[in-house]
């Protein structure tokens, strides 16, 4: 039963996705970029590092703001 539901959802997804991929340049570019990221290990590492640095910067900014509010 669960398998049948998943197959129905998958078929519904592909009924929508295939026409979108054939008509939309943006969707094709998104798929091309995601495939490039998926297949290139160095690019994956660079993106992961960028994400980690971004999260660290955000956390540091929240901490500084909290400390400023605490001492103000």
| Tens digits of residue pLDDT in 1-26 | 889 999 999 999 889 888 888 888 88
Look over the chain and give the mean of its residue pLDDT values, rounded to a whole number: 91
What pLDDT does residue 49 have? Answer: 97
Higher pLDDT, 45 or 31: 45
Side-chain half-sphere exposure of 39, counting CA atoms within 13 A: 6
The DSSP call for residue 72 is -
Angle of helix 25-39 versus helix 41-71 axis, rounded to 10:
100
Q: Count how many domains the chain has.
A: 2
Q: How far apart are CA 26 and CA 32, in angstroms?
A: 10
Query: Domain residues for 28?
Result: 1-39
Looking at the structure, tell me whether residues 17 and 45 fall in a common domain. Answer: no
The whole-number pLDDT of residue 21 equals 82
In terms of domains, do 70 and 45 share one? yes
Query: How confident is the model over 18-40, as a mean pLDDT?
Result: 87
- How deeply is 12 buried, as exposed, middle or buried, from its count of CB atoms within 10 A (0-12, 13-18, 19+)? exposed
């Amino acid at each position: 039963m669960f398998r049948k539901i998943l197959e129905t959802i998958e078929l519904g997804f592909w009924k929508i996705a295939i026409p979108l991929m054939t008509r939309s340049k943006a969707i094709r570019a998104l798929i091309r970029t995601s495939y490039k990221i998926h297949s290139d290990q160095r690019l994956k590492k660079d993106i992961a590092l960028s994400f980690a640095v971004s999260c660290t910067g955000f956390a540091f900014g929240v901490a500084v703001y909290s400390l400023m509010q605490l001492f103000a």
